[in-house]
Amino acid sequence: MPRKLIKRYLPDPRVIKENRYLAFLGHRIHDANLWHLNRRSAATAFFVGIFCAFMPIPFQMVLAATLAVIFRCNLPVSVALVWITNPLTMPAIFYFTYKVGCYILATPIRAIPFEPSYEWLQAELSVIWQPLILGSLITGLIAGALCYLLIRFYWRWSVGRSWRNRQRLRNAKTDRKE
């Protein structure tokens, strides 16, 4: 069942509820719907988490938690999925979103020599921010929508498979009794 698979990797709800960065959500964070795991809440949480993971902003987890509260989807799943963009994957993901933005805006892709300094970051972002933001929004929406549909489909398929297996077992028991 997808619920068991997802729950295996979820962080502890107590840890999330006590996170100081989420204190601004107040009593809303204790809404029971944010902690339930069903097909709708899981699929919407995947959309929110994947979308936020593609946003080139700091504190993506806070954005994911806020959107999870607004859309009343599973908060731990939303927050956990943001970690798709981690220090190892972030350069590749954001370079891809930059290229998508350049393609849509019909601007040439700049070769950006890397220099680990605040001045370099500020100078480069002032030039590439438009294609980066547009590409991030578009790829985030597309990837989030695909994950939403995949989770809905997988959940439905898994439940149908479980029902068929139970029916097969029931039929086998009744055949043995006869």
> Given this model, what pLDDT does residue 3 score?
64
pLDDT band at 172 (very low <50, low <70, confident <90, very high): confident
Alpha-helix residue ranges (DSSP H) falling in 72-117:
75-81, 90-105
Q: What is the pLDDT of residue 178?
A: 63
CA distance 53 to 61: 8
Instruction: Answer with the residue of higher pLDDT: 144 or 11.
Output: 144
Q: What is the mean pLDDT of the chain?
A: 85
Q: What percent of the chain lies above the pLDDT cut of 90?
A: 38
Res. 171: pLDDT tops 90:
no
| Cα dihedral value 2, 157, 143, 18, nearest 10 | -20
Amino acid residing at 91: P
pLDDT (0 to 100) of residue 20: 74
Find all residues with CB under 8 Å of 45, minimum gap 6, and list them: 68, 73, 74, 75, 77, 78, 81
- Give pLDDT, residue 166: 87
pLDDT higher for 68 or 173? 68
The number of helices, as runs of H, and strands, as runs of E, in the chain is 7, 0
- CB-CB contact of 140 with 51 (8 Å): yes
Buried b (16+ CB within 10 A) or exposed e, 118-151: eeeeeebeeebeebbbbbbbbbbeebbeebbeeb
Amino acid at 119: E
Q: How confident is the model at residue 138 (pLDDT cuts 50, 70, 90)?
A: very high
pLDDT: which is higher, 143 or 14: 143
pLDDT confidence bin for 104, thresholds 50/70/90: very high
Q: Indicate if the pLDDT at residue 84 is higher than 70.
A: yes
Query: What pLDDT sits at residue 9?
Result: 67
Three-state SS for 129? helix
